Copies of this chain bind each other. A is one copy, B any other.
Amino acid sequence: MNQNRLDPVVIEKITALIGDRFTTSQAVRDQHGRDASFHAAMPPDGVAFVESTEEVSQIAKICFQYDVPMIPFGVGSSLEGHILALNGGISIDLSGMTDILSVNAEDQDCRVQAGVTREQLDQYLRADGLFFPIDPGAHASLGGMVATSASGTNAVKYGTMKENVLGLTVVMSDGRIVTTGGRSRKSSAGDDMTSLFVGSEGTLGIVTEIQLRLHGRPEQVAAAVCSFDDLENAVQTVIATIQVGVPVARMELLDAASIAAVNQHSHLSLSEKPTLFYEFHGTENGVKEQSEIVSDIVQDFGGGDFDWATREEDRNRLWRARHEAFWATKELKPNHEVWSTDVCVPVSILADCIVQTQQDIDENDLTAPILGHVGDGNFHVLILLDPDNEEDVQKATAFNSRLVKRALDMGGTCTGEHGIGLGKMGYLEAEQSTAIPLMRDVKSVLDPKNLMNPGKIFRLKDAS
C-alpha cells in the first residue's frame, strides 16, 4: 500500500472544514482507489465526502495551495481506471450530493447535484411523466456520467450525455466556481464550455451540478427479443434498420456467449444464439408501425420471430438482464475478472468489425462475449481473465490492442462510451494525434498545476 503522502496541514485544514467526513482510513482509501475495471488499485491519500459545491470549492483551494491532486469520485463504476490515484492526493467523493435541485416538467429539464444516480433520478421523474434516457449499465452517478460522456442503450434515439447536458456547475482546481450553459434548449452564446467538461474525466474540474435535458415518457413502449443463426445476420439487421431510419429507442446485440451468461445469471431461457433486444417508443400506432418495419427487416436476414415483452415487469426483467451482462459474464469463471472494453465504428462496417472480432476471439481461445449498443456502431467485448495469470493478461492485452486497431483502421474510435482513463491513453494518441496537443494546451491553462485527476487521458507535453 502507498504511504500517506499528505501534508499534515492539509489533513488538519480539510478536517477543520468537514470534520469526520474527511478520512485517511486505509479501508476507505482502498475502496476509492479502484473502479469496476481490472486495473490494480491505486488508493488516494485521503477521501473527502463532500456535501456542497461550496465545500468542494474550499477543499480545492486547500489542495491548490498545497499541490495536492484531486480525483472526483461518484460510485466507482468506471471501466478504464479513471479514478485511480496515480499520484496520490484526495478523492473527492460526491456520492452524498444527491439533491435533485429542480425539475421543470414544462420545459423538460432538471438540475441535479453530481451524486444523484440515474436510478434515483428515474424514480423521482416518474410522477412527472418524464425520464432521463442515458443508462450506462452501472448504477452510475450523473457526475460520473458527465465525466465519461456516458451513453448506453437509449443513445440510438436520445443521444448521449453530450446531447443531454445543458449546463454545469464546475469547481476549478483553484477553487473557483464556474457556471456554464443554461436552461435554453439551444444557445450560440460564446465558446461551448459545457461540452468541454463533458467527457473530460475530471481532468479539468470537478462537476458538482448538472442541468439535464429530459424527455417525456413515451405513450407506448414495446420490447422484443429476436434471435439469429449467426452473428453477421444479426448485425446486418441492425445496419438495415438504421439505414431505413426507423426511430428505434433501443437496439442491443448479445452474442451467443452473452446470452448463455445472461440466462444463467438472470434465470432466463433465451435461445443461446446471437440475439437482438429491441425497444420501441412512440404513440400506439407509431410503435406498431416501427415494429412491423423492423419485423420485415428481421425476416429478410433470417431472424426468428419477435418474442414480445409487453408487460412493464417483463420489459424491466429483460433490460435488467441486459444491464447485468457484466456481472453475468463475471460468474462464468470463478476468480476471474471482466475486462470490459468498447469500440465504436461507422454502422456500415459494424458487421465486418464484429465478425473479425469474433474470429479473433475464437482463434485465440478467449472467453469474451460480445454485446453492445449496435445501433450506434458501439460494441463491448467482455474479456474474462485471471488478473494474477500473466499469460491471461498478455492475451487479453494483445486482443484489446488488435480490437482497437481494427476499429481505428475502419474509421472508428477507441471508445464509444467508456472513456480513456488510464487504459486507452496509447490508443487516443493514435486516434487523435493532431488534436491531443490542443487538449494538452487546454489542460495546461485550466489546470495549471496538473492537480485535477492527473495522469489520465493523455500524457502532458513535458512528462516522460
Interface, chain A (partner B; CB < 8 A): 104, 106-109, 148-151, 155, 159-160, 162-163, 172, 176-180, 182-193, 195-196, 198-200, 203-204, 215-216, 218, 239, 243-245, 283, 285-286, 289, 344-348, 376-378, 411-420, 424, 427-428, 431-432, 434-439, 441-446, 457-458
CB closest residue in chain B, given A244: B216
- Cβ-neighbour of A188 out of B148, B196, B285 (below 8 A): B148
> Do A347 and B185 form a contact, CB below 8 Å, given A285-B285, A444-B445?
yes
> Do A183 and B346 form a contact, CB below 8 Å, given A106-B243, A192-B199?
yes
Contacting residues, chain B, for A148 (C-beta < 8 A):
188
Judge whether A192 and B243 touch: CB under 8 Å. Answer: no
> Do A186 and B376 form a contact, CB below 8 Å, given A196-B196, A445-B444?
yes
Judge whether A413 and B187 touch: CB under 8 Å. Answer: yes
- Cβ-neighbour of A435 out of B184, B193, B346, B418 (below 8 A): B193
Judge whether B435 and A442 touch: CB under 8 Å. Answer: no
Contacting residues, chain B, for A187 (C-beta < 8 A):
149, 344, 413, 415-416
- Cβ-neighbour of A186 out of B151, B442, B446 (below 8 A): B151
A427 to B189, CA, bound (A): 9
Judge whether A189 and B285 touch: CB under 8 Å. Answer: no
Judge whether B439 and A189 touch: CB under 8 Å. Answer: no
The number of times this chain is found in the oligomer is: 2
Judge whether A428 and B182 touch: CB under 8 Å. Answer: no
A216 to B182, CA, bound (A): 31
Q: Determine how close the nearest CB of chain B comes to the CB of A23; give it in whole angstroms.
A: 31
Judge whether B413 and A189 touch: CB under 8 Å. Answer: yes
19 residue pairs of the A-B complex, CB under 8 angstroms, read: A106-B348, A107-B348, A149-B188, A149-B192, A151-B186, A172-B438, A176-B437, A177-B434, A178-B437, A183-B346, A186-B416, A187-B413, A187-B416, A189-B414, A190-B435, A191-B200, A192-B199, A441-B445, A442-B445
Contacting residues, chain B, for A438 (C-beta < 8 A):
172, 178, 180, 193, 196, 446
A148 to B427, CA, bound (A): 32
CB closest residue in chain B, given A342: B188
Contacting residues, chain B, for A428 (C-beta < 8 A):
189-190
Judge whether B442 and A191 touch: CB under 8 Å. Answer: yes
CB closest residue in chain B, given A80: B188
Lowest 9 CB-CB distances: which A-B pairs, in order? A195-B195, A106-B348, A187-B413, A216-B245, A441-B445, A184-B344, A107-B346, A445-B445, A149-B188
Judge whether A458 and B190 touch: CB under 8 Å. Answer: yes
A104 to B243, CA, bound (A): 11
Of the candidates A183, A377, A416, A458, the one having the most CB atoms from chain B within 10 angstroms of its own CB is A183
> Do A191 and B176 form a contact, CB below 8 Å, given A186-B344, A441-B445?
no
Contacting residues, chain B, for A417 (C-beta < 8 A):
186, 188
- Cβ-neighbour of A179 out of B196, B285, B420, B434 (below 8 A): B434
A163 to B155, CA, bound (A): 13
